[in-house]
């Protein structure tokens, strides 16, 4: 059976990030566009050596159109600061480009994207990797790791492993920063931040930064 995906909204041939971003504004490759404010496309230099891939935009990202600017983004910024890495030098994106949520009173609660939605949106991520040609791609959390490293991949056991990826890049994975934000115990949270920083440091080294 033919199913719609982002592919039908993709420009012909290899495109720049700018062209892709423009086209993605009009994507209807799955139903998620209908309840979201806007497409949140990846952001960063056209030739970044290091690419970070999250799951999908949250509430703050949906409202502003920028990836990783809410609580998870703040934690990411803290980790990048510890590494002396400037966010502006990285390409930061998500597997799924629209915010999926359900109402809970006045709140919009994040809902995990389905496998079908991940598959539908995947062509944008593939096109971003083809356009940017990063040396290293870091999957942040299980959704990104599943999309780029396969359904069998387990972040808890396999974080930090280096795998060959598309376009000759190296793909690795670590936890999602929002999983760290959710840790209540301060000491445990600090340990989790340190491990996250360690994973990102290894990825940076691998990318030659």
Residues found near ligand URA in the complex (CB under 6 A): 54-58, 61, 67-68, 70, 72-73, 94, 178
Please state the closest distance from residue 21 (CB atom) to ligand SF4, in A: 11
Using alpha carbons, select from 33, 62, 36, 207 the residue that is nearest to residue 134.
207
For residues 70 and 123, which CB has a smaller minimum distance to ligand URA in the complex? 70
CA distances from 108 to 36, 37, 65, 103, 105 (A): 11, 12, 16, 5, 8
Site size toward ligand SF4 (CB under 6 A) is 15
The verdict on 24 binding ligand SF4 (CB under 6 A) reads yes
- In terms of DSSP bridges, do strands 107-110 and 101-104 run parallel, antiparallel, or are they unpaired? antiparallel
> Nearest residue to ligand URA, using CB?
54
Please state the closest distance from residue 55 (CB atom) to ligand URA, in A: 4
20, 51, 79, 121: residue in contact with ligand SF4 (rule CB under 6 A): 121
Residues in the chain: 209
The verdict on 178 binding ligand SF4 (CB under 6 A) reads no
The verdict on 98 binding ligand SF4 (CB under 6 A) reads yes
CA distances from 140 to 26, 120, 144, 148, 177 (A): 26, 19, 6, 11, 7
For residues 55 and 199, which CB has a smaller minimum distance to ligand SF4 in the complex? 55
The SS3 of residue 178 is helix
Determine contact, residues 102/111, Cβ cutoff 8 Å: yes
For residues 18 and 154, which CB has a smaller minimum distance to ligand SF4 in the complex? 18
120, 127, 145, 200: residue in contact with ligand SF4 (rule CB under 6 A): 120
How far is C-alpha 136 from the geometric centre of its chain's CA atoms? Answer: 13
Residues that bind ligand SF4 (CB under 6 A): 6, 24, 27-30, 32-33, 39, 96-98, 117, 120-121
């Amino acid at each position: 059976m033919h199913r719609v995906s982002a592919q039908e909204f993709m420009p012909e041939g290899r495109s720049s990030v700018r062209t892709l971003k423009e086209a993605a504004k009009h994507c209807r490759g799955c139903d998620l566009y209908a309840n979201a404010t806007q497409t949140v496309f990846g952001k960063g230099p056209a030739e970044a050596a290091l690419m970070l891939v999250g799951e999908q935009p949250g509430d703050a990202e949906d409202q502003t159109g920028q990836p990783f600017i809410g609580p998870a983004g703040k934690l990411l910024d803290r980790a990048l600061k510890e590494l002396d890495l400037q966010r502006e030098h990285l390409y930061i994106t998500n597997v799924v480009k629209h915010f999926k949520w359900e109402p809970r009173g006045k709140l919009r609660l994040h809902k995990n994207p389905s496998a079908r939605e991940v598959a539908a949106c995947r062509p944008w991520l593939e096109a971003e990797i083809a356009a940017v040609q990063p040396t290293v791609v870091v999957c942040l959390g299980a959704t990104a790791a599943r999309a780029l490293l396969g359904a069998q991949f387990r972040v808890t056991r396999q974080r930090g492993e280096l795998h060959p990826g598309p376009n000759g890049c190296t793909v690795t994975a670590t936890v999602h920063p929002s999983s760290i934000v959710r840790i209540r115990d301060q000491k445990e949270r600090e340990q989790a931040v340190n491990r996250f920083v360690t994973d990102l440091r290894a990825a940076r080294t691998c990318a030659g930064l």
